C-alpha cells in the first residue's frame, strides 16, 4: 500500500529528505519521479544528477528560474503549477514506486493550485505508489489526508549563512 508522506515547516530539509528517499528507492532499482512546483533552476543538484541515475530517476520542473512572489503569483506561475499537477496525474498512470511532489504544499497554500485537486490526485493514486509532499505552509486538508506528517522547525540557523552548492542546492 502506498502511503502519503508530508513534510512541512519553516526549517530546512524537507526536499532533502524526499530526495534521500528517492536515492534509497533507486538503490533498490525502483522508479522515483520528482515533480517540482515553483522551481525552474537547472543548476541544482537534484536536477543535474538526472542523467546519472537513469532509468530509475526522473525530475520534471514546473516553475520559473526566478523566485515567485507568493503574495501575488503571476498567471504564468499559476499556469505552470496547474501543468505540474496535470503532469502528476499522467505520471501516476505509470505506477512509479515513489512520486515526490516537491513544493506542492506551498503551491496549494498560496492558491497556485486548488487543494481539492491535490486531494483528488492523492485519492486516485495507485496503491503501488508512495507519494511525498513537501513545502512550507501545508494546508490543513493535506495534513489531514497524509498518512505520515513531519514538521521541520528551525532551532538554530545563522543569518549570514550562504547557500552552499551540493548542500542547499
Q: Residue 167 has what pLDDT? A: 84
Cell numbers that stand for 22 in this block: 528517492
CA dihedral 159, 160, 165, 168 (to 10 degrees): 0
Rounded Cα–Cα distance for residues 44 and 141 (Å): 30
Q: Which CATH number fits domain 4-138: 3.40.50.300, 3.40.50.1110, 1.10.260.40, 1.25.40.10?
A: 3.40.50.300
**Average pLDDT estimate for 42-70:** 95
- Looking up cell 501543468 gives 83
Domain boundaries, the chain: 4-138
Cell numbers that stand for 133 in this block: 509532499
Confidence check: pLDDT of 20 > 70: yes
pLDDT digits (tens, 9 = 90+) for 103-152: 999 999 999 999 999 999 999 999 999 999 999 999 999 999 999 999 99
Q: Residue 1 has what pLDDT? A: 67
Q: Residue 53 has what pLDDT? A: 97
Rounded Cα–Cα distance for residues 32 and 34 (Å): 7
Q: Residue 159 has what pLDDT? A: 86
Residue from 104, 101, 93 nearest 128 by CA: 93
pLDDT digits (tens, 9 = 90+) for 75-99: 999 999 999 999 999 999 999 999 9
- pTM, full prediction: 0.95
In terms of phi and psi (left: phi > 0; alpha: psi -120 to 50; beta: otherwise), the region of 150 is: beta
**Average pLDDT estimate for 145-163:** 93
Amino acid at each position: 500500500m502506498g502511503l502519503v508522506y508530508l513534510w512541512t515547516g519553516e526549517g530546512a530539509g524537507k526536499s532533502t529528505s524526499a530526495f534521500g528517499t528517492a536515492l534509497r528507492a533507486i538503490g533498490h532499482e525502483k522508479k522515483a519521479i520528482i515533480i517540482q512546483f515553483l522551481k525552474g533552476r537547472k543548476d541544482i543538484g537534484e536536477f543535474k544528477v538526472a542523467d546519472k541515475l537513469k532509468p530509475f530517476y526522473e525530475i520534471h520542473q514546473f516553475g520559473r528560474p526566478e523566485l515567485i512572489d507568493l503574495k501575488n503569483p503571476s498567471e504564468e506561475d499559476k499556469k505552470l503549477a496547474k501543468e505540474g499537477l496535470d503532469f502528476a496525474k499522467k505520471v501516476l498512470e505509470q505506477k512509479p514506486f515513489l512520486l515526490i511532489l516537491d513544493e506542492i504544499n506551498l503551491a496549494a497554500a498560496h492558491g497556485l493550485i486548488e487543494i481539492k485537486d491535490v486531494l483528488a490526485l492523492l485519492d486516485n493514486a495507485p496503491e503501488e505508489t508512495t507519494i511525498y509532499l513537501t513545502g512550507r505552509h501545508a494546508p490543513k486538508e493535506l495534513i489531514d489526508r497524509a498518512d505520515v506528517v513531519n514538521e521541520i522547525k528551525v532551532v538554530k540557523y545563522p543569518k549570514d549563512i550562504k547557500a552552499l552548492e551540493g548542500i542547499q542546492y
